[in-house]
Amino acid sequence: MDFKNKIILAPLAGVNNIAFRKICTDYGADIVYSPMIDARAMLMGNRKLFDFYDEKNLVVQFFGNDAEIIAQCAKLIEDKARAVDLNLGCPHSDVVKRKCGSYLMRYPKKISSIIKGLVRAVDLPVTVKIRAGYDRSHINAVKIAKLCEKEGITAIAVHGRARTVNYQHPVDYSIIKKVKEAVDVPVIGNGDIFSGEDAKRMFDSTGCDSVMIARGAMGNPFVFDEVKDYLKGRKSRNPSKKRMFSRFLVYCKRYNVEFKDIKAHAQWFTKGMKGGSRYRQLMNNAKSVDDLKEVYSGI
């Protein structure tokens, strides 16, 4: 799997079900990540985590802190994924309390052992996703990136904020740029990409090889084609949110996506839409897909 010159869907917990990954691919995502998967839960037999089909552009991301368990999980999905990713960036308190995600940014030796195990376990590219650091006093993305490269990773995604920095603060491009200058593997820039202009700014400010879109894709899977059009100087013909949602529903039916997940996406699709708040309120009472369709019929 080539990680250069790509527009990528970030791993989004509670968002990246199979239907969403499919529609993002339809609308230009070159690579799509699974939501982060609890390696320990997967190994204990949580079958809901096996939401993988014949996806030619799928990277499966795991979080955990046990090298052997993560390696075993990677073997289980080796025939379903095109690459395996280690989550070193999740800032959520419940994940950090379990000594996973961005917690590991403080423990280079632990990271090294996990990556070694992954690289040995599977015949797939192994990637990592990191943050600028654990907190503002420990900005060590460059150190971690160099360590990961030494252990054999294929690419590294960098979110330009430390774990303790919230989204009200702008992404720090300088951190991503420093990582790019320090390693030879492809670097994927992540953070605050909602448009083609944002993506160009990320490329120009950091020199990164690819960009990864997270929140900017929620409710707007067309953002990937929009970015590509902008970068190539083409005018985008944005499909309506109603049309995108209808296409999303086709995949939901095909892959038996749970209603609660469909409902969440139905509400995200109204983001930025005139009257969106009212539509979301109406959807709060929806009990079925038909109820959601009825709301959309009035859009």
Active site residue: 90, 100, 208, 252, which one? 90
Strands 187-190, 210-213: pairing is: parallel
Alpha helices, H only, the chain = 18-26, 39-43, 67-76, 93-97, 108-121, 141-150, 173-182, 196-206, 223-231, 241-254, 259-268, 276-284, 289-297
What distances in angstroms separate CA 102 from CA 92, 121, 182, one per listed residue?
A: 9, 23, 20
What distances in angstroms separate CA 196 from CA 53, 122, 201, 227, 239, one per listed residue?
A: 30, 35, 9, 4, 16
Residue 236 backbone dihedrals phi, psi, to 5 degrees: -85, 145
Answer for the pair 28, 224: CB distance below 8 angstroms, yes or no: yes
Q: Which residues pair with 156 in a beta bridge?
A: 128, 187
Tally helices (H) and strands (E) across the chain.
13, 9
Annotation marks residue 208 as catalytic? no
CA distance linking residue 291 with residue 229, whole number of Å: 35
CA distance linking residue 229 with residue 148, whole number of Å: 33
Q: Which residues are catalytic?
A: 90
